[in-house]
């Protein structure tokens, strides 16, 4: 298909209607905004990058694109791993990176009102000054933005106990596919008026509207955590420990898995000295207060030992514990340094974690593909990382086949194709397999209602 050429009239209008400096057309700038971190997802060449600072400027962009039939691809920090922010030819990439105001933190109502470009970690730091806490904490929290987190319904290390982004979004302001600026949701503790359009927007990946403001629920600051670490000789044994923790009735504040490949990659990059003694490391935490926290940590330790841990213990050194979890957060960027990485994001029932990890191991052998593993194991959200050598097309084909098979196996175990990274471009076929034609038609009907021209992030999620 021939590449769409930039529409000179559209560029002229955007430059005329927006303040100076908002619109960029330099090829080097366009290249930097053409795709997210999903290295294997296709992307096109945008006509322009626009960085608005207000909701009205966002509406100006959308209305101009409507008049010129130009696609709008909304982008946060570009840390996505599914191609959800990838440009199509001739699109206007609307970056919310300059919309960074934390407009309100309310300690009484325990809520925050923020613009979409606020970085997750910056919000968490601002909340901590009020003895409040915003729980969703993706591994990219230092770089990813709240708008992007909302777009993908991001989770993170704490979501096993505290839920994902959708659980904290009370209300939204956004620009629709018809160029209207609307508000949905509420700022009250309760409310059931109308359909849950707020929940509908969370996880929609920019296909239903452009978010310009988010109202978020906050929690009180929590007690210090107790950390338990276990070393295992196989993924399946670590998976058994995860299932045992769930069966014991414990809801940990984090339960994370890292395999030797990831630890070695982190060590090679950051020299943290963590990869010498284990094939798989399982990290558990509990933030239950007082005696209950000690009891939960002891029970978690017994679960690790009974599942076959070669070593397990409670950490008495907070710095050591933090270093282990820092290694978990660094695992993906460390592995990415080894070569092109195709990142999975399947989620299965917790009881199926051992079986799914075993199937991933078998898939790696069957397709002669190196698969490193990290996981939010406590809620069954697994992130196999399929690694290939640069320029090895045959290895890439094998990895793609392994990627597809992992999706099929996750669905066969009652799982889902994505727990937190979103569908984007990489998981569209998997989504069809998971939802079926009738539910896909319902999704399309929602898309048609909110974006009748089909200009908002076309080709993503449902594929049209």
Among 137, 139, 109, CA closest to 125: 137
* Confidence check: pLDDT of 49 > 50: yes
CA distance linking residue 242 with residue 382, whole number of Å: 12
Residue spans per domain, the chain: 8-95, 102-220, 223-328
Tell me the β-bridge partners of 286.
Answer: 226
- Higher pLDDT: 272 or 266? It is 266
HEC string for 61-129: HHHHHHHCCCCEEEECCCCCCCCCCCCCCCCEEEECCCCCCEEEEECCCCEEEECCCCEHHHHHHHHHC
Beta-sheet pairing, 226-232 with 346-347: unpaired
Tell me the β-bridge partners of 216.
Answer: 112, 169
What band does 320 get if pLDDT is binned at 50, 70 and 90?
A: confident
Q: Under a CB-based contact definition with an 8 Å cutoff, are residues 135 and 162 in contact?
A: yes
Residues 373-410 have pLDDT tens digits of: 999 999 999 999 999 988 899 999 999 999 999 999 99
* Confidence check: pLDDT of 8 > 50: yes
CATH class of the domain whose range is 102-220: alpha beta
Q: Under a CB-based contact definition with an 8 Å cutoff, are residues 327 and 259 in contact?
A: no
- Domain 8-95 coded CATH 3.30.43.10: yes
CA distance linking residue 334 with residue 338, whole number of Å: 7
* Confidence check: pLDDT of 37 > 50: yes
Residues sharing a CB contact under 8 Å with residue 208, sequence separation 6 or more, in sequence order: 176, 177, 200, 201, 446, 447, 450, 451, 456
Please tell me the predicted confidence (pLDDT) of residue 59: 98
* Confidence check: pLDDT of 1 > 50: no
The pTM (predicted TM-score) of the whole model is: 0.94
Tokens of 90: 């001739």
Please tell me the predicted confidence (pLDDT) of residue 275: 63
Percent of the chain predicted with pLDDT > 90: 86
Residues 217-237 have pLDDT tens digits of: 999 999 999 999 999 999 999
Please tell me the predicted confidence (pLDDT) of residue 400: 96
Beta-sheet pairing, 92-95 with 72-75: parallel
Please tell me the predicted confidence (pLDDT) of residue 273: 74
CATH of domain 223-328: 3.30.70.2190
């Amino acid at each position: 298909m021939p590449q769409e050429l930039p529409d000179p009239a559209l560029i002229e209008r955007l430059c005329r209607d927006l303040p100076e400096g908002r619109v960029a057309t330099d090829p080097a700038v366009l290249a930097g905004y053409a795709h997210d971190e999903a290295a294997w997802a296709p992307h096109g060449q945008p006509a322009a990058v626009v960085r608005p600072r207000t909701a009205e400027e966002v509406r100006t962009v959308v209305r101009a694109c409507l008049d010129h039939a130009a696609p709008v691809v909304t982008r946060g920090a570009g840390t996505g791993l599914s191609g959800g922010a990838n440009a199509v030819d001739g699109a206007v990439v609307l970056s919310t990176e300059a919309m960074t105001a934390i407009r309100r933190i309310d300690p009484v109502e325990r809520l925050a009102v923020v613009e979409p470009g606020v970085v997750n970690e910056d919000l968490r730091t601002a909340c901590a000054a009020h003895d409040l806490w915003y729980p969703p904490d993706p591994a990219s929290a230092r770089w990813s933005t709240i708008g992007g987190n909302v777009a993908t319904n991001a989770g993170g290390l704490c979501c096993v106990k505290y839920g994902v982004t959708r659980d904290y979004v009370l209300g939204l302001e956004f620009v629709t596919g018809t160029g209207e600026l609307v508000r949905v949701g509420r700022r009250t503790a309760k409310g059931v008026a109308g359909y849950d359009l707020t929940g509908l927007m969370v996880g929609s990946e920019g296909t239903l509207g452009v978010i310009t403001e988010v109202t978020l629920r906050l929690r009180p600051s929590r007690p210090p955590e107790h950390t338990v670490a276990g070393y295992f000789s196989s993924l399946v044994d670590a998976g058994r420990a995860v299932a045992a923790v769930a069966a014991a009735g414990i809801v940990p504040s984090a339960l994370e898995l890292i395999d030797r490949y990831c630890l070695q990659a982190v060590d090679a990059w950051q020299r943290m000295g963590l990869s010498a003694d284990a094939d798989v490391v399982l990290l558990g935490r509990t933030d239950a207060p007082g005696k209950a926290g000690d009891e939960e940590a002891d029970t978690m330790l017994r679960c690790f030992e009974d599942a076959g841990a070669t070593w397990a213990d409670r950490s008495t050194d907070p710095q050591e514990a933090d270093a282990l979890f820092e290694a978990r957060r660094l695992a993906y960027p460390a592995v990415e340094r080894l070569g092109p990485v195709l990142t999975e994001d399947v989620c299965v029932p917790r009881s199926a974690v051992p079986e799914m990890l075993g199937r991933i191991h078998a898939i790696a052998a069957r397709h002669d593909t190196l698969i490193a593993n990290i996981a939010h194991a406590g809620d069954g959200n697994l992130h196999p990382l399929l690694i290939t050598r640069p320029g090895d097309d045959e290895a890439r084909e094998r990895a793609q086949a392994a990627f597809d098979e992992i999706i099929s196996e996750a669905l066969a175990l009652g799982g889902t194709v994505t727990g937190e990274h979103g569908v984007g471009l990489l998981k569209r076929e998997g989504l069809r397999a998971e939802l079926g034609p009738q539910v896909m038609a319902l999704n399309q009907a929602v898309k048609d209602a909110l974006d009748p021209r089909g200009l908002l992030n076309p080709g993503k999620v449902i594929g049209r």
